[in-house]
Amino acid sequence: MSGRLDGKAVMVTGAGTGFGAQLAVRAAQEGAVRVLVHYRSSAQGAEETAARISDLGAEARLIQGDIAAWDEIRRMADEAGDLDVLVNNVGDMASGQTSWREVDEEIIDHCLAVDIKGTMLMVHEFGVRMLDRGVRGAIVNIGSTVIVRGSPRAPIYAAGKYGLLGITKSYARALAPHVRVNTFAPGFMATPAVLERPDFKAGRGEQIVRDTPMGRIPPPEDVTGAALFLASDDAGHITGSYMICDGGYSMLGA
């Protein structure tokens, strides 16, 4: 690996499973000396992620909490201590919804509470602490290319991720020049949550591969390096940006 995060302390939310777990491990591979593995309910997965990080020679710490609750976020920020990088990976993609016709208030409330309110408060609490310490910090919000194409399956998911752009741009200005804030937008990844969706099994997967210039749906670990580029000093003059990484699937317009 490139060592782009040498000596840095990194926290990844939702690191017990999926993309978050791979991001946390990649942070250790990139030289992070301390990696905080956040989880809400996936304790076993978080422990497995932490063990992989320890095997790479980095310090691994577990931190549990619900990012939809401000008191929980304040507690986690206190427990986390001094950080250089925060990766806000947690998000609700309304995975149980198979059609826009199924939308209900419970889905809307939870998706907005996590994707918008929770992410905003995470950026706020952790960003303020970075700013007050005077460090050159970096915050990477994990978005989605769903905001480019929309989501006929779950419009609330697209709405939540679109709101993330406003959070990113606003705090990029508020926390500048000490703390950079960017959004990383992956496309479809070969995770169990995606591969097991009914629409995916019914032909959506084949359609996505066909319409992706790179010709495949990558596993999460193939995308982590691009995401953590935004957390590195190599991206030191990038803030308030939206970086797409979807194999060309969203390559629309001029």
Q: Give the pLDDT confidence of 7-30 residue by residue, as tens digits.
A: 999 999 999 999 999 999 999 999
SS3 helix, strand, coil % of the chain, rounded to 5?
A: 50, 15, 35
Digit-coded pLDDT (tens) for 31-77 = 999 999 999 999 999 999 999 999 999 999 999 999 999 999 999 99
Rounded mean pLDDT of 204-217? 90
- Please report the pLDDT score of residue 167 as a whole number: 97
Q: How confident is the model at residue 157 (pLDDT cuts 50, 70, 90)?
A: confident
Residue 92 CB coordination number (10 Å):
19
Residue 173 has pLDDT above 50, yes or no: yes
Average the pLDDT over each of 95-104, 123-132, 243-252 and give the range with the smallest value. 95-104
Residue 1 has pLDDT above 80, yes or no: no
- Please report the pLDDT score of residue 38 as a whole number: 98
- Please report the pLDDT score of residue 83 as a whole number: 97
| Spatial separation of the C-alpha atoms in residues 128 and 134, rounded to whole Å | 10
Three-state secondary-structure class, residue 219: coil
> Are the C-beta atoms of 145 and 249 separated by less than 8 Å?
yes
- Please report the pLDDT score of residue 253 as a whole number: 57
Order across the sheet with 242-245: list the strands. Answer: 59-64, 34-39, 9-12, 85-88, 137-142, 179-186, 242-245
Residue 147 has pLDDT above 90, yes or no: no
Residue 2 has pLDDT above 50, yes or no: yes
Domains located in the chain, CATH noted? 9-245 (3.40.50.720)
- Please report the pLDDT score of residue 254 as a whole number: 46
Residue 151 has pLDDT above 70, yes or no: yes
Digit-coded pLDDT (tens) for 62-117 = 999 999 999 999 999 999 999 999 999 998 777 777 777 887 888 888 889 999 99
> Are the C-beta atoms of 37 and 22 separated by less than 8 Å?
no
Mean predicted lDDT score pLDDT of the chain? 92
Three-state secondary-structure class, residue 7: coil
Average the pLDDT over each of 1-15, 31-45, 195-209, 232-246 and give the range with the smallest value. 195-209
Residue 186 has pLDDT above 70, yes or no: yes
Catalytic residues: 157
CB < 8 Å & 24+ apart, contacts of 213-218: 213/247, 213/248, 213/249, 213/251, 214/247, 214/248, 215/247, 216/247, 217/188, 217/189, 217/190, 218/189, 218/190, 218/247
Supply angle C-alpha 171, 116, 236, rounded to 5: 30
Q: How confident is the model at residue 176 (pLDDT cuts 50, 70, 90)?
A: very high
